[in-house]
Amino acid sequence: MYSKANSHVLARFLDYLKIEKGLAPLTVSAYTTDIQQFAEFLAKRKRTLLKARRNDVKDFIQQLFANSVDGRSVGRKLSALRHFYRYLLLDKLIEGDPTLNIASPKQWKVLPKSLARDEVETMLSGSRPTSARKLDEAIEMRNRAMLEVFYAGALRVSEIVGIKLEDLKLELGYILVRGKGDKERIVPLGKSAQRALAEYIRHARGALAGKHNSPLLFLGRGGRRLTRQRVWQMVSTASLTAGRHASPHTLRHSCATHMVENGADLRTVQTILGHADISTTQIYTHVALDRLKNVYQKHHPRARTRA
């Protein structure tokens, strides 16, 4: 729904584009769609186009990236907003341009999605199999162990399906992981992950392996290698208990975000995640800061006090 203020100011801008700028109808239509989309975004914040702030524009762009809108489309929408607010500024309808100094889409890094800590706990507690069949119980133990390892070590899907039994040093509390470029790194495992792995190896792995002898740690039925698609499906199904859709990468991002929130230094997080460049790891400081600001705004008694 658009307010009268939005409709009026947008109509004036569109007339300006058609009459004074002589833009083609298709171009004007694209500008209309992009600005209306931003107006809908602002309406959820109880704000009109004339009252938009720089943070609104940044959050709008971030949401577009989070919804997998490609960079070219984001760039076009930002360009439409820049032209719109430049017009409003010149027409003295606003005092400041909220698009000023907003970086181009090529310079943006998409903030990864992560679960809250209670959502992770709910997801890891999981459901139990409805069947009493030994194979179903074995699959449940395997899935629980994999979820724990995903969150404990911030592993990628390709890394977890390739872990060998000999890579696990359970008594020492770590696992050897082969990441991108076949680079090896040592990833620590917490007590919860260690317990889940011990239970899986003791009671489930043999049932899944059957008569087959596989060097891999995590196995499918009959000792087969797990596919990436099967692992994604497993994580997606498990996430339903938390009430939010999650992927293996969500658990990886959640691990990194929660470590930073708890005071872990970036070099340690970089090592655990296997990032070649620490600038990639620095994005988690932004995630943690955004969450900190949201909690502050929600709970501090004077956070919303106006002068």
| Residues annotated as part of the active site | 156, 180, 249, 252, 275, 284
Q: How far apart are CA 106 and CA 131, in angstroms?
A: 50
Q: How far apart are CA 84 and CA 52, in angstroms?
A: 12
The number of angstroms, rounded, from the C-alpha of 278 to the middle of its chain's C-alpha atoms is: 18
CB 167 within 8 A of CB 177: yes
Q: H or E element: which one contains 178?
A: strand 174-178
Three-state secondary-structure class, residue 176: strand
**CA Rg value for the chain:** 25
Look at strands 184-188 and 174-178 and give their pairing.
Answer: antiparallel
Q: 3-state class of 186 per DSSP?
A: strand
How far, in Å, CA of 264 to CA of 257, rounded? 10
d(CA 181, CA 261): 29
φ, ψ for residue 227 (rounded to 5)? -90, 160
Q: CA 112, CA 50: separation in Å to the nearest integer?
A: 30
- φ, ψ of residue 126 to 5 degrees: the values are 60, 180
Place of tokens 């409805």: 130
Query: Token pair of 270, please?
Result: 């970089």
* Nearest residue to 282 via CA among 257, 258, 262: 257
Order across the sheet with 168-169: list the strands. 168-169, 174-178, 184-188
| Partners of 185 in beta bridges | 177
